[in-house]
Structure 1
Amino acid sequence: MKSDVIGKSLTPLPAFLLALLLVVASVMSPPANADDGYDLWLRYQPLAADARDQYRPQLRQLIIPGSERSPTLQAIEREMVDGVRGLLAQVPVVDDRIQGDGFVLVVTSQTAQAVRGAGLSARDLNDLGGEGYLIRAITLRGQKGTVIAANNEQGLLYGSFHLLRLLQTGTKLANVDISSRPRIGLRLLNHWDNLDRSVERGYAGQSIWDWWNLPDVLDPRYIDYARANAALGINGTVLNNVNASADSLTGRYLAKAAALADVFRPYGIRVYLSARFSAPVEIGGLDTADPKDPAVQRWWNDKADEIYRRIPDFGGFLVKANSEGQPGPHDYGRSHAEGANLLARALKPHGGVVMWRAFVYQQDNPEDRAKQAYSDFVPLDGQFDDNVIVQVKNGPIDFQPREPFHPMFGAMPKTPLMMEFQVTKEYLGFASHLAYLGPMYEEVLEADTHAAGPGSTVAKVVDGSLHNHKLTGIAGVANIGSARDWTGSIFNQANWYVFGRMAWNPDLEAEAIAREWLKVTFGQDPQVLDTGLDMMMASRQAVVDYMTPLGLAHLMATGHHYGPGPWVSDLARPEWNPVYYHRADHNGIGFDRTSEGSDAVSQYAPAIAKQFASRSAVGDDLLLWFHHLPWDYPMSSGRDLWEELVHRYDRGVAAVGKMRAQWQTLEPLIDAERFDKTARLLQVQEREAQWWRDASIAYFQSVSGRQLPKGVAPPARSLEYYKAVDYPWAPGH
């Protein structure tokens, strides 16, 4: 990413020396289109000549009224100048006065004279809210140009990035008229990063936060991280793991968090911290963390005061409590609401929020793990303070390749619920498999909860419109690390991108965002766009097919979740074992969640419960999630269940083979570094898809006693071989 200093005067080189340097550069420099992926969607590579000619007359001048530049306005100026210079090979004049056609006027409602002059009404700006913006073609005093207008500088920042995206995607500016505001208030990345720079479920290197050298050393990547997020409208970051260390709240580490907050502030990004519930005991010297204890309440009040002295715009706390061994209010006989409200009341005077996670995977053995969060939280509806938002995973288990939407969505009308998606691919092939998650996000957000009748989508729960909540949020567990390309592969960047775009507007379509990402990442070649789009849109279903077809779930190997392990049955707790989820035996397979089984369907609204409880209505993709069926159960395809299961595994492997072949056709059109790495990762994916297919079929064949369908290739090795495969040092564990 570019970091050029604007306005520095340089002494011209002698003509002969300049010519010599150009010759040397032409010999020694890599090709102009060489790319290691670092620049993400802010590449600003030169557009085609006809596009440059189209845009240059429209971007001659950048007008930012006012004599002083705030840090955010300085960031806007740098970004616009760098972007236009890179895309158009033209440096716009930066001024506070219009000098002719081709200006871009960047103006807030506070710049009253400029707003009136641009023909903007109060209503135009009022409708934008606090973070929205408009981009409009205007004529001002006889001069033609474009205005970016907002109610504050953060809106201007988002609008400026949008204008640059219009250039990158080839959108005409002549009659542009765009008005955009975020549908969701809190749009956050959750970093599961630890203080030793390890990353839980991280597959792209170490944490980008260099805790040891902070606050003294500020890596330039921090600015580029902020730029990349601001370009998507992401406005917050949780710096540390939900499995938090109490040390994160000590003065030493608060100083480090404050240094990051200072870097992020001009880009509209607030810092949040995961808080360990037992911190008053571990770092506060108390003998209890009971929410009802006055000393505990004072400790959290004092800690909040300390944090806000260091970070005045601190966003608040994310909390994982009474889940997977983490401490929480249940340790003292208190409810999740009482625990959340303890922290919320400490933050309330400062404007902070508490994001209390509903992932309550506890020490006891529930009747059905999928029911636990609903059972724990729904009875507490209406008991949370107004600055608490409950953060709910997209599905009722744990970020599986496919799950039904979480039954809590729509079931707590008095409590704001925040979506939690996983951007890092813990169960979808880590960083090595191509799995575009946009269709998964879209599938969940479009799901109809029927909470208030038809059309009560999950998106309407999350954006607050269904139950009239003002506090709204969406979080993505980040896939970012110290890898040069940030995410471990180029196509993993698309998952960060689509999360940010859907966080801004959950009604955006995954396919349209994929095409947009391809344009800003690879350019506008039609073959690249069409082929890349086909690969991306097929990829998630391919992963589902070769890992967890027909509604199966949690078949991954123990701990690291790398590779197949459907045979695992010897772990201490039933719900740690894959056999708990598929329940395969000689007679059939699947988890009965109807009224004849765990009755998890009853946690959904009646219309949805009826659909999921029906073998014919639930659909093939979730069939075995809700039903235990005999191996010869007739499927809609005309095959029986066993034959369909094998077919899905084969279909998944074939889909990856097709993606590999498609990518090879793009070799002349993609720079060598990104092409080669992607080609090698697709080779890994095809090999591992075959492993998943062979190991899974070998196991389920041994359990069912069924013969392979005619013409189907047998697994390459024995079941004993696959059971013996071990990867104790897999990443992210």
Structure 2
Amino acid sequence: MKTLLFVLLWISMTFSVSANDGYKLWLDYQPIEDANLKIQASQLFSGIYFFGESPTYDVIRKELQIAAPKLVGSAPQFKTERLAETQVWLGKREELSQVLGLQQQTELRQLGEEGYWRGTIDFQGKTYYAIIGNRPIGVLYGVFDWLKSIQTETFDPKLEKSDSPKVKLRMLNHWDNLDRTVERGYAGFSIWDWHKLPGYIDPRYIDYARANASIGINAVSLTNVNANARILTTDFMKKAKVLADLFRPYGIKVFLTARFSAPIEIGGLKTADPLDPEVIAFWKKKTDEMYSFIPDFGGYLVKANSEGQPGPHEYQRNHAEGANLLADALAPHGGVLIWRAFVYSHELDEDRHKHANLEFEPLDGKFRENVIIQVKNGAIDFMPREPFHPLFGAMDSTNLGMEFQITQEYLGQATQLVYLAPMWEEVFRSKTYRPTPAATVAGIVDGTDSGQKLTLVAGVSNIGTDRNWTGHLMAQSNWYAFGRMAWNPELSSEEIADEWVKMTFGQKPEPLAKIKEILLESREAAVNYMMPLGLHHIMGWDHHYGPGPWVTGGRPDWTSLYYHQADSLGIGFDRTASGSDALGQYAPEIVEAWSDPTQIPEKYLLWFHHLPWDFKLPSGRTLWDEIGLHYDAGVKSARQIQANWNSLESEIDPERFDHVRQLLAIQVQEAEWWRNSCLLYFETFAKRPFPAEIEKPTGDLEEYKSRKFPTAPGIRPKW
């Protein structure tokens, strides 16, 4: 009997210890190791008073109830009397106006609806720590920032901090289909269970909202831009309402993708012509119905006349006429229409790099005030490295928003560790020289340089049903970094990496330093072994997994040969005035510098120039040798990243360590695959020996070319 009891006890203990599978993200709230900070935090958690009531204050209470026991080992104490042993005051500016000075109130007012201030307040001989916003959501953001300072052990009660977002809409774009598949998704299926909604609410939805609010994301588009019109039916409105109600206390608005042909598909009309009175009436009625279910509905996101999606061109109308149709339906409700600039047509015999500018520049100033044109960071399609999109700086009278891709469609998907913040930082800090000589992409997007008031940074979500949310545990850093950079495009990738590592893995110096190094080196490593010196769009067909520089057939601009243009003379795409002249869409300062292959940044060299294999670079090496060295350097960096991680085995819990260890082993193999297959392929044109300094590529080119991946995740559905 005793033996049986012991076995049962052992089994119970075994199953009560949950593995660290990454589900808790950066909100794990690991115990504070700094003794003084733990005492300070414990004191503050011992007396918390809310000025007023709000659903958002309720979620703050819940968050503190999660955080405090983990951080300091005791539950927070909420007080009902303001001056009875309180330590922390939480509330809106109006609620605390009696204890705030005029200067403090003025400073707070300037922070806007989502801004916050936190610091100490002296009142009636006692000092309180206060977190104050102009609205409850500002208080929530301030509380998350306070908790982050405790997690990262940077909290100092003597310091004041005020902050507010530089961008109005900070949005996740889910490319989730109604059948729960996810286009370009690598972390399982869609978290939205449309079949069970509205009756069943998955607790995961709340954890999703918590995570987004903690990094300042305030909008989500729930459905794929390759839209299904059924999402706009009454049945699905009831389902979307449940999510909107759950997200509202966290400051998150719901957007939906609108299929342009919906008047035909669900409205029974014979046309979707944006100037047709019946079509106009359909969208007005449909939008009014949407707001009857979701009073704070954010608006629509639209992909039109791109990759087979319907749009205004079928009716000889332009993008402005199409966008304004929906914008007018949304305007009475304060809604926003987001219209994607990712358009290219096989009927237009121009370099694909030029298509968006050719279609949108002539329409500058013709879009309604509540329209945002959502522009990808580069003109091709989320490549590992692209020069910034030439639309930024080319439209002075139109709201332009940024679209990044958090999911790693072209960057190893869920098998590779690639920290994307350095890419986004590179784009944001790029000088456009328009509308002013000092203008940057960040300044255009956040309105500093463009003057626009309606601003947007959107990111294609990397979230799915995998327990760790993102497929690859380390890809959580990209979700985190996106939110932080959308809040403030001026933040550095290093600063964000430091925060995420501390919040996810703790404060130990060696793991902190090595994981930061891994993150900050990973993107450049991937660029080197995938697409060095500006080579681009040389990945596998359709699934975009792995190398495919030999891909041809079908639409030219869906092939690799269209982009690298390798031949016996050289390699690269001539986009100067002697070629497609896509470079001419940028400011004159950029055109002048980048037209010269000896002056252009080497990272963009083959993006804009077709050069001989023996072209001499500043290093003194030939182009062929430099390409080989970059590919090889990428492989060596991947191996070093793997070695750095493996050295941390004793410092990281076994579940997370082994997860990343296995995937890094795959990444090294894939880096070698990229290097070997690409160099063997390009050598058939260059007819030159491989550089003596590199590890010679191995394998058989024909075998590499024959590889098929019918089960690769994220394959685009056949519409």
> Normalised by the size of structure 2, how large is the TM-score?
0.96
Pick one of 64, 70, 75 that aligns with 1:91.
75
Pick one of 572, 597, 607 that aligns with 2:589.
607
Q: Which residue of 1 aligns with 2:273?
A: 290
Deviates further, 673-682 or 720-729: 720-729
Pick one of 683, 697, 704 that aligns with 1:701.
683
Q: Distance in 1 between matches of 2:86 and 2:610?
A: 66
Q: Distance in 2 between matches of 1:521 and 1:120?
A: 38
Q: Distance in 1 between matches of 2:603 and 2:104?
A: 50
Q: What are the equivalent positions in structure 2 for 1:178-197 lying under 5 Å apart? A: 178-197=161-180
Mapped pair 1:209 → 2:192:
yes
Paired amino acid for 1:629: L
1:711: how far off? 4.8
Partner-residue secondary structure (3-state), 1:93: coil
Pick one of 589, 595, 601 that aligns with 2:571.
589
User: RMSD of the alignment, in Å?
Assistant: 1.8
Q: Which residue of 1 aligns with 2:694?
A: 712
1:100: how far off? 6.5
Q: Which residue of 1 aligns with 2:66?
A: 82
Q: Which residue of 1 aligns with 2:547?
A: 564
Q: Deviations over 1:425-444 (max 9, x none)?
A: 00000011010000000000
Deviates further, 676-685 or 48-57: 48-57
CA contact (8 A) 1:139 1:145 kept: yes
Pick one of 307, 313, 324 that aligns with 2:296.
313
CA contact (8 A) 2:119 2:158 kept: yes
Paired amino acid for 2:361: V
Paired amino acid for 1:263: L
CA contact (8 A) 1:58 1:101 kept: no
Q: Distance in 1 between matches of 2:146 and 2:521?
A: 30
Q: Which residue of 2 aligns with 1:46?
A: 31
Q: Deviations over 1:189-228 (max 9, x none)?
A: 0000000000000000000000111111110000000000
Q: Distance in 2 between matches of 1:696 and 1:519?
A: 38
Q: Distance in 2 between matches of 1:401 and 1:539?
A: 11
CA contact (8 A) 2:38 2:72 kept: yes
Q: Which residue of 1 aligns with 2:125?
A: 142
Deviates further, 460-469 or 484-493: 460-469
Paired amino acid for 1:575: D
Paired amino acid for 1:180: D
1:453: how far off? 3.2
Paired amino acid for 1:190: N
CA contact (8 A) 2:51 2:92 kept: no
Paired amino acid for 1:149: I
CA contact (8 A) 1:137 1:173 kept: no
Deviates further, 458-467 or 227-236: 458-467
Paired amino acid for 1:730: A
Q: What are the equivalent positions in structure 2 for 1:262-301 lying under 5 Å apart? A: 262-301=245-284
Q: Which residue of 2 aligns with 1:518?
A: 501
With over 3 angstroms needed to count, the CA separation of the structure-2 counterparts of 1:239 and 1:155, relative to structure 1, is same
Paired amino acid for 1:109: R
Partner-residue secondary structure (3-state), 1:244: coil
Q: Distance in 2 between matches of 1:115 and 1:644?
A: 65
Q: Distance in 2 between matches of 1:74 and 1:343?
A: 35
CA contact (8 A) 1:107 1:114 kept: no
1:49: how far off? 5.5
Mapped pair 1:727 → 2:709:
yes
Q: Which residue of 1 aligns with 2:231?
A: 248
1:495: how far off? 0.3
Pick one of 134, 140, 150 that aligns with 1:167.
150
1:28: how far off? 3.2
CA contact (8 A) 1:101 1:144 kept: no
With over 3 angstroms needed to count, the CA separation of the structure-2 counterparts of 1:28 and 1:706, relative to structure 1, is same
Q: Distance in 2 between matches of 1:482 and 1:644?
A: 42
CA contact (8 A) 2:47 2:77 kept: yes
Q: Distance in 2 between matches of 1:418 and 1:732?
A: 25
Mapped pair 1:404 → 2:394:
no
Q: Which residue of 2 aligns with 1:71?
A: 55
Paired amino acid for 2:464: G
1:82: how far off? 1.9
Q: Distance in 2 between matches of 1:514 and 1:102?
A: 35
1:145: how far off? 2.7
Q: Which residue of 2 aligns with 1:358?
A: 341
Pick one of 1, 20, 42 that aligns with 1:35.
20
CA contact (8 A) 1:57 1:102 kept: no
Partner-residue secondary structure (3-state), 2:415: coil
Q: Which residue of 2 aligns with 1:12?
A: none
Question: What is the number of residues matched between the two proteins?
Answer: 709
CA contact (8 A) 2:632 2:695 kept: no
Q: Which residue of 2 aligns with 1:616?
A: 598
Mapped pair 1:105 → 2:85:
no
Q: Distance in 2 between matches of 1:328 and 1:730?
A: 30
Q: Distance in 2 between matches of 1:505 and 1:130?
A: 16
Q: Which residue of 2 aligns with 1:4?
A: none
Q: Which residue of 1 aligns with 2:614?
A: 632
Paired amino acid for 1:43: D
Q: Which runs of 5+ in 1 are unaligned?
A: 1-19
With over 3 angstroms needed to count, the CA separation of the structure-2 counterparts of 1:339 and 1:504, relative to structure 1, is same
CA contact (8 A) 2:119 2:157 kept: no
1:48: how far off? 1.3
Q: Which residue of 2 aligns with 1:473?
A: 456
Q: Distance in 1 between matches of 2:448 and 2:41?
A: 39
Q: Which residue of 2 aligns with 1:17?
A: none
Deviates further, 423-432 or 47-56: 47-56
Q: What are the equivalent positions in structure 2 for 1:318-467 lying under 5 Å apart? A: 318-467=301-450
1:632: how far off? 0.5
Paired amino acid for 1:526: P
CA contact (8 A) 2:341 2:356 kept: yes
Paired amino acid for 2:43: P
Q: Distance in 2 between matches of 1:398 and 1:335?
A: 22
Q: Distance in 2 between matches of 1:27 and 1:205?
A: 30
Q: Distance in 2 between matches of 1:142 and 1:636?
A: 68
CA contact (8 A) 2:566 2:572 kept: yes
Q: Distance in 2 between matches of 1:121 and 1:519?
A: 32
Q: Which residue of 1 aligns with 2:3?
A: none
CA contact (8 A) 1:325 1:363 kept: no
With over 3 angstroms needed to count, the CA separation of the structure-2 counterparts of 1:25 and 1:91, relative to structure 1, is farther
Q: Deviations over 1:291-333 (max 9, x none)?
A: 1100000000000100000110000000000000100001000
Paired amino acid for 1:582: H
Partner-residue secondary structure (3-state), 2:51: coil
1:406: how far off? 0.2
Q: Distance in 2 between matches of 1:113 and 1:643?
A: 68
Q: What are the equivalent positions in structure 2 for 1:465-544 lying under 5 Å apart? A: 465-544=448-527
Mapped pair 1:578 → 2:563:
no
Pick one of 210, 213, 228 that aligns with 1:230.
213
Q: Which residue of 2 aligns with 1:6?
A: none
Q: What percent of counterpart residues are identical?
A: 52
CA contact (8 A) 2:421 2:478 kept: yes
Paired amino acid for 1:307: M
CA contact (8 A) 2:435 2:450 kept: no
